[in-house]
Structure 1
Amino acid sequence: MAEPPCQTGRAERPSPWADADRIVLAHARDSGIVAIALDGADERGRRPLTAGELPAWVAAREADRSVRWVWASTARWYPVLLAAGVRVQRCHDLRLSHAILRDARPTVASLRDEAARPWDAPDVAPAPSQGEVLFELDAPGARSPRDDADEVLAELARQDAALDGAPDAGRLRLLLAAESAGALLAEEMRAAGAPWDAAHHDRILTETLGPRRAGGLPERMARLAAEVRAALGDPTVSLDSHPRLLRALHAAGIMVESTSKWELGEISHPAIPPLLEYKRLSRLLTANGWSWLDEWVRDGRFRPVYVPGGVVTGRWASSGGGALQLPRQLRGALRADPGWRIVDADVAQLEPRVLAAMARDERMAEAARGRDLYAGIVASGAVGTRAEAKLAVLGAMYGATTGDSGRLVPRLRNVFPRAMALVDDAARVGEEGGTVSTWLGRTSPPPDDGWRAAQAAASRAGAAPGEETRARRMARDRGRFTRNFVVQGTAAEWALAWLADLRLRLAQLPPVPPEEAAPRSGPAFARRAHVAFFLHDEVIVHAPAVHADAAAEAMRASAAAAGRLLFGSFPVDFPLELTVSESAAKD
């Protein structure tokens, strides 16, 4: 609902909110929340608000027209709105955008000067309890210095100036919009939670580890530990202590350098099979055992804390719950509510397809069209088997020079020269100490002082052979990093574009009647299909059964739209493995 027009004497003028293209939310100095309407860079009006008034006021603006909300951090502002059942379509997250623009090429000095320093710090917050809002906007100590209205406007001005002067501003603007949309979705997924069947999870743990025992190892793990100790002849060795276990192995004549499963798997000794099984079960118990279940699943929902842009390439990370490392055996616990469905979409070979599009390598794109990309590479004659194709492609993207991958990579150069030239050039730039950028403009960090010192030491007259060897190794390592950065980072951008388009398409689906709602998904999502889980190249939607097919079609359409948005008409496919089921279990 629009606000009444403001009165100025006898003249009547429209509300400043009616056609504002951006609205800033911040804290006025020494007072409460303030909303600031902007038309371009010009301020059109201010409105003081209490935290209690904020959700309804934002909802009214969203109902008026499409607004881009500008705030210091989505993680600080959006949870309050979602808790009140209010969603927004678009935002500009200043903190995330600052990190991208600060490091973009060419560097913008104003984003690196002293005044902009507070924007370099991450959000700091205590680990939230399930269902709690991460920040209360008017709680004592909740404000960040970045939330001050003057500081928010100053940072927005710096970012606007940086974009105005950027040589490829269109791509950077798209990247900032995608990054900010990802921040909205991260909070939406946490607010709705992934539907989680705690009883099913408990059954899997009990069947796999043995019954839970207070103050001790589960039964099966305890039995395996006893077998290992007996085989080693050491009844007290701790299998969870790397130094102690290594000493016990050496004492038993097993002269390994580490306790990695790869090295232990080469050894023939009665202690090794139960030890490897113990280590496998220990990983499950530590990462997703009963303690994890108690901490992260409540009222039928798993609510992890996602960190958009948490990896240097732009991939997401998680600061709680380990959402991006979900074991396959537990996927069956991600289970839809009654009357709802899990719609799961997995894009096949995302990074190689992105590489083909970036390089404009039509032969590689043709190998991927309408089929498994690795099978297409076999059909091209580059290699003989699908396994070799996968090794070759991964070796190309990660810089393998030895073993089977190193042997196969040169064959790709003959068949797909454009794709290989792109990653080879990125590696060369990295080896020389330069920086590289993703398709939309996220820039890799420069080499650190240790790297530069090593190269300088190797370049001086009379450098020792060891210094030269160390410098070459560090240069190659950096080349492998930049080689992968351009591909992994661009794949992350494609995934963000997919997510951003999908959340808007799902919002177009009508709500189901109250009697068909899933109330544990919270006020914003109880009656609507929504993204519930995200793992780099896989998206899971929780949808009412009546909308499951529409949600699946939205996922397909969004994947195609993301490809067009980033790569235009270049003919590369991004096919999805799509399933509609009651759970996320995979065979």
Structure 2
Amino acid sequence: MPASVLLTRDASARTVTLTSLDADARPTGARTVGVDAWVDAVAAAEAESRPRWVWDDTRRWAPDLLRAGVRVERCHDLRLCHAILRHASAAAGSSLQTAPPGPFDVPPPDEPPPHEPDLLDALRELDEQDDARAATPPPASAPTPGTAGTPDEASAEASTGASAAALLAELHAQLAAVAGSSAPGRLRLLLAAESGGALVAAEMQHDGLPWDPVRHDALLTALVGPRPVGGGRPRRLEELAATVRTLLDDPRLNPDSQPHLLASLRRQGFSLASTSKWEVRELDHPVVEPLLEYKRLSRLLSANGWAWLDAWVHDGRFRPTYVVGGVVTGRWATDGGGALQLPVSLRAAAHADPGWRLVVADAAQLEPRVLAAMSGDRAMSDAARASDLYQGIADAGIVATRTDAKYALLGAIYGATTGASAMLMPRLTRAYPQAVALVEDAARAGERGEMVSTWLGRTSPPASAGFLDRLGAAGAEGADVEDVRDVRRRARDRGRFTRNFVVQGTAAEWALCWLAALRRRLRGIGDGRAHLAYFLHDEVVVHSPAQDAAQVADAVRAAADEAGRLLFGDYPVEFALDLSVVESYADA
């Protein structure tokens, strides 16, 4: 029986070829079927031997399979795996990294940009100022061997179906890069987890999160007023807008226009750089409260109002499109629907079907626990045995209160240099020297323009050539004082990014392993109908028949334990979960 099966479409998309591969990824036979028969062929092979399916992009193959009721157990997503191996420091020098660009080095032509904030955004702005190219492109990457043409031509080819020989050559290049790397075991786990995440994402989009449009409408109406007929603002927003105009003595003010609002505030004697809530909050004026409330409700209406409901909820399900690895650290993003930013005020609309329950689990303080495990800091690991790690730190006498512990630890991870976090850092450093040293070393590497890697081997983007040139010039004799000051500030910004990259990226790897382990376990519960319905970085929602909910809850906990063992072996860090079984997401 084949260890793997490679799926390819011909250029005309009229036939699909299933190429059987042995354990060394060598072809042992091939079968070509019409485009109307490939799903049945996959279903038969999956039932017979459960191979690992190798394909160019899970998003191209999974939807047709899911519509036909076919769910494969595992896959190898060449696009996602290529993106990781192209930049992985552990695989430096591989032929995959040194070859010129190819089809997997450009996004598919139909892929919109993800709608999730990227940690690299601020650094990209710096690079744009330092380097005329905006940012240094990734290291020259391997084309799919045997494929010619420019990246644009290669992308077009990938969209219609690359040949089996080309994709097989790409697979061999990836396997060789892993085998020749300095950490083959970790990279294999990362590629398997990333590919498994692609299956989970496709299945969650297909299954959807139960969403009651009637409840949504009622919640929205209670917050902003009834849906306007023929356009315009809902009643509550119009009332708030009128109040803001009156308090600012500006009857023609449009509160949705930042220039208009800034001008109106300046006439009241306030000079603001923006209308962000942080700046508005500092004003001493009666307009603050109604203006902030207007901005809050306006954002809610824009992001998750009736237009969102019409666009994204159908047949009682919210079905966003997840982008696996859409953020530079490996976190997911979305390309529409705002799945990763569902407001608390509307979560009551996420409601289980009759006779079903939502099993909701949140990994408590995931990033600090990951830092404890990565660094091997035993004292911090002891604190992590508590269900509340921050309280555990306070109980150990490191700092006075839980709040102090939270400020100090998150300050270490995110690079806070002022305020309470900075004041508490010396205590944290004395108590947990290994944990603090890990993030400090990552920060110093970033400041030098170096790349850093997560636990399993995802590597941060390189610094731009412009930044490296300016960094070198700043160290030269006779450097301009202002230039030196500026480049040091930029270096500190890059250090804050790399400090967080190693922790957030490793937390994302833990979450991928959690998802994969849970997906496998759910298949064996009851009649297998319980399924993952939603995922948010360190939180999962499973939609389960009520009679299976207790078993599902046990599976969620067991999967979290398994994820910890997969990444960190027997190292004693507990990944605590806040878990509840509810009918409404709002009750979790």
Q: TM-score, normalised by structure 1?
A: 0.90
1:74 and 2:58 aligned: yes
Deviates more, 1:141-150 or 1:425-434: 141-150
Aligned residues: 541
Structure 2 gaps, min length 5: 113-155
Inter-CA distance 108–22: structure 2 relative to 1 (3 Å threshold): farther
Whole-angstrom CA distance in 1 between matches of 2:322 and 2:579: 24
In structure 1, what is the equivalent of residue 184 of structure 2? 169
- TM-aligned CA deviation for residue 143 of structure 1: 6.1
2:216 to 201, 208, 218: 201
In structure 1, what is the equivalent of residue 16 of structure 2? 33
1:189-268 aligned at under 5 Å gives the runs 189-213=204-228, 214-268=230-284
Whole-angstrom CA distance in 2 between matches of 1:192 and 1:565: 28
**SS of residue in 1 equivalent to 2:335:** strand
Deviates more, 1:110-119 or 1:65-74: 110-119
CA contact (8 A) 1:71 1:147 kept: no
Whole-angstrom CA distance in 2 between matches of 1:528 and 1:467: 62
Whole-angstrom CA distance in 2 between matches of 1:264 and 1:383: 33
- TM-aligned CA deviation for residue 272 of structure 1: 1.7
1:426 and 2:446 aligned: no
Whole-angstrom CA distance in 1 between matches of 2:565 and 2:83: 26
In structure 1, what is the equivalent of residue 167 of structure 2? 152
Whole-angstrom CA distance in 2 between matches of 1:237 and 1:150: 64
Whole-angstrom CA distance in 1 between matches of 2:252 and 2:197: 49
Inter-CA distance 143–397: structure 2 relative to 1 (3 Å threshold): closer
**SS of residue in 2 equivalent to 1:52:** coil
- TM-aligned CA deviation for residue 266 of structure 1: 1.4
Inter-CA distance 124–342: structure 2 relative to 1 (3 Å threshold): farther
Which residue identity is paired with 1:209?
A: V
CA contact (8 A) 2:94 2:180 kept: no
1:125 and 2:105 aligned: no
Which residue identity is paired with 1:187?
A: A
1:440 and 2:456 aligned: yes
Q: Deviations over 1:42-84 (max 9, x none)?
A: 1111111222212221111111123100000001111110010
1:384-533 aligned at under 5 Å gives the runs 384-511=400-527, 528-533=529-534
Q: Deviations over 1:132-175 (max 9, x none)?
A: xxxxxxxxx99615633232112111101111211110100000
Q: Deviations over 1:304-323 (max 9, x none)?
A: 00001001100001111110
1:178 and 2:175 aligned: no
Whole-angstrom CA distance in 2 between matches of 1:424 and 1:218: 50
Q: Deviations over 1:507-530 (max 9, x none)?
A: 11232xxxxxxxxxxxxxxx7000
Whole-angstrom CA distance in 2 between matches of 1:396 and 1:157: 41
Which residue identity is paired with 2:492?
A: R
Inter-CA distance 454–159: structure 2 relative to 1 (3 Å threshold): same
Which residue identity is paired with 1:394?
A: L
Whole-angstrom CA distance in 2 between matches of 1:451 and 1:222: 48
In structure 2, what is the equivalent of residue 54 of structure 1? 38
CA contact (8 A) 2:359 2:541 kept: yes
Whole-angstrom CA distance in 2 between matches of 1:50 and 1:434: 50
Q: Deviations over 1:327-367 (max 9, x none)?
A: 11111111111111100011100000000000111111111
Q: Deviations over 1:72-109 (max 9, x none)?
A: 00011111100100000000000000010000114245
Q: Deviations over 1:26-47 (max 9, x none)?
A: 1235552111111113111111
Whole-angstrom CA distance in 1 between matches of 2:429 and 2:269: 46
Percent identity over the alignment?
Answer: 56
Q: Deviations over 1:500-551 (max 9, x none)?
A: 000000011232xxxxxxxxxxxxxxx7000000000100000011111111
**SS of residue in 1 equivalent to 2:416:** coil
Q: Deviations over 1:246-286 (max 9, x none)?
A: 11110122222221111111112122211111001011011
CA contact (8 A) 1:116 1:155 kept: no
**SS of residue in 1 equivalent to 2:585:** coil
Whole-angstrom CA distance in 1 between matches of 2:462 and 2:111: 31
Which residue identity is paired with 2:317?
A: R
1:367 and 2:383 aligned: yes
CA contact (8 A) 2:103 2:158 kept: no
Structure 1 gaps, min length 5: 1-18, 128-140, 512-526
Whole-angstrom CA distance in 2 between matches of 1:558 and 1:143: 35
Alignment RMSD:
1.6
Whole-angstrom CA distance in 1 between matches of 2:93 and 2:162: 22
Which residue identity is paired with 1:69?
A: W
Whole-angstrom CA distance in 1 between matches of 2:100 and 2:28: 25
Whole-angstrom CA distance in 1 between matches of 2:161 and 2:491: 38
**SS of residue in 2 equivalent to 1:320:** coil
Q: Deviations over 1:342-401 (max 9, x none)?
A: 000111000000000001111111112132100000012111011111000100001111
Q: TM-score, normalised by structure 2?
A: 0.90
